[in-house]
Structure 1
Amino acid sequence: MQSLNISSSALRGIQYALDNTANNMANLETAGYKRRAASFSELLADSMNEQPALDRENRNSPVGLRMGSGARLGMTKLDMAQGSMKPTDVPTDLMIQGEGFFMVGSQMRDANGVMKEEFLMTRNGNFHLEHNNYFNGFVLVAPTGHILLGENGSPIVIGEDEIRDFEVSEDGYIAANGNPTFERIGLWKSDNPDQLKQIGENLYDPELQEGQDPADVFTSSWDNMIATIRQGALEASNVNMQEEMSQLVNIQRAYQLNSRAIGISDQMMSIATSIRTR
């Protein structure tokens, strides 16, 4: 019976690992995507020490028979390795070279109809310029519709009637039509990226409170000089197809092994049941 529990728990963990690998492979071409690596942990184990006599041979392992309960998927760790550069020559495409996230925001209504601000983080720098009547100027908008925020946590507004020339320096300052806007893009570093809640569309929820300054929670990448911005390029996904395919083969073999173990355990239980009924 214990073998069935061990194999069934392993199959559940393997299924989660397969879903994680499939998600990585599906985002192979997603700009700024960071892969997740699955890691397993052992469940509770018991030791049977009621032996009639001690082993005559010397042994390095503890006395007794160790009985495990299987394994489970412990966590999927976010891999923050830098992705390769993908030149696009589009002025509004921005790539982070180093550590940090863009902060984007939007206004949304909750279930009670109250307008609230939403703050999210992303590594996808595929922005475009869009005129916003509410801010009376141009803003940089992400593919999800969120507006790029500056280092003060407010939307970056370019007060020009028309933008013919758009430039972003390596240290994040924006210039339009040859005139500096004195706006700086905010880049924020999380000490533990695994604490960020992944909500889909390559976005992470920092779970900031209403009106909370990002500087109270995160470290500015500009202060520590750990990041620069490359204009006219995007950061490719850091998923390695060869590595993911190798992981897929390992998952398949582990699934076959545990499926066979369940089949053998079922046969053994059938034999034991038939013997008792005779």
Structure 2
Amino acid sequence: MQSLQISTAALRGVQQALDTAGNNIANIDTVGFKRRGASFSELLNDSMDSQPSTDKVRTSPAGLRIGSGVKVGLTPLDMTQGSAKQTDVPTDLMIEGEGMFLVSRYKGMDAQGNVQEEYRLTRNGAFHLSMDNQGSNTVYNLVTASGDVLLDEQGLPIELPTDGEITVRPDGQVLHNGEELSAVKIPVFKLDNPDKFKQAGENEFLWQDPNGDSPWNVLNHSDATMRQGFLEMSNVDLNKEMSQVILAQRAYQLNSRAIEISDQMMGIANSIRSR
């Protein structure tokens, strides 16, 4: 029975590793996507300390330890820089270094008539211009493909004029026709531990603070620079992911075979016992 439990646990872990690799491959062309790895950890083991120890040179503890298999303990984010793709679109922004853009999503109104917003973080810099939420004809916001509004250092929407040339310097300062726009600067926030953030879909991470603090009051500013007219592509290496898929498939086949052999052995034992 122990062999069945070990192989079954391994099958679950290998299936999760396959799912992780498959998700990486599916997002190989997603702008700003960061791949995830699969880290295995050992399950609890049983120790039979009643076994005699006759080996005088043995360095391990006396007794016999029987493992219970492995599981996927972590699927850590790989935050390495993706390749740059030049688009020459003024609203396309690429982060060079650590950090993410902060965007907000409109969630509706509460019972008191207050606007409800959800804050998210993303590396996807494929923005476009959209009329601001107040319906102004003179100001536009930078928004993502799903309509999330890019925010500044104070948590306010980035507002841009509708005419003229817009330039974004490497430090995030926005210029209109070569002149700085006062209080219009695109920040990049640094995440010390991206794995603690929940993925909310659409290549975004949900901001959830237990104390209810706003992200711009908690997160530090990154030293990363910005490139206008470029997009950061996925950091998925297809060759590496396919190698991981092949290894996972081989491990899956091995454990499936182990279950089959264990079942056959138990069947033989039952048939002998019944005679």
The TM-score with structure 2 as length reference comes to 0.93
Aligned to 2:180: 180
Aligned to 2:167: 167
- Count of residues in Structure 1 that have an aligned counterpart in Structure 2: 271
Aligned to 1:81: 80
Which letter does structure 2 place at the counterpart of 1:90? V
Query: Is the CA contact 2:197–2:207 (under 8 Å) kept in the aligned structure 1?
Result: yes
| 1:141 to 2:143 alignment | yes
In 2 relative to 1, CA 211–263 (structure 1 residues): closer, same or farther, beyond 3 Å? closer
Which letter does structure 1 place at the counterpart of 2:200? I
Which letter does structure 2 place at the counterpart of 1:76? T
Aligned to 1:40: 40
> In the aligned structure 2, how far is the partner of 1:71 from the partner of 1:110?
47
In 2 relative to 1, CA 55–110 (structure 1 residues): closer, same or farther, beyond 3 Å? farther
Which of these residues, 198, 223, 228, is aligned with residue 225 of structure 2? 228
Which letter does structure 2 place at the counterpart of 1:154? L
For residues 58-85 of structure 1, give each alpha carbon's deviation from its aligned partner in whole angstroms, at most 9, with x where no partner exists. 3333222210011111010011111111
Aligned to 2:90: 91
Aligned to 2:153: 151
Aligned to 1:244: 241
Following superposition of structure 1 onto structure 2, how do residues 186-205 of structure 1 map, counting pairs within 5 Å?
A: 186-205=187-206
The TM-score with structure 1 as length reference comes to 0.92
Which of these residues, 253, 258, 261, is aligned with residue 258 of structure 2? 261
Query: Is the CA contact 2:110–2:116 (under 8 Å) kept in the aligned structure 1?
Result: no
Gaps in structure 2 of 5+ consecutive residues: none
Range that drifts further, 143-152 or 110-119: 110-119
For residues 35-66 of structure 1, give each alpha carbon's deviation from its aligned partner in whole angstroms, at most 9, with x where no partner exists. 00110100000111223x43346333322221
Question: What root-mean-square deviation, in Å, do the aligned CA atoms of Structure 1 and Structure 2 show?
Answer: 1.9
For residues 84-128 of structure 1, give each alpha carbon's deviation from its aligned partner in whole angstroms, at most 9, with x where no partner exists. 111111111000001110000122127979631111000000001
| 1:218 to 2:215 alignment | no
In 2 relative to 1, CA 74–59 (structure 1 residues): closer, same or farther, beyond 3 Å? same
Percent identity reads 53
Query: Is the CA contact 1:117–1:210 (under 8 Å) kept in the aligned structure 2?
Result: no
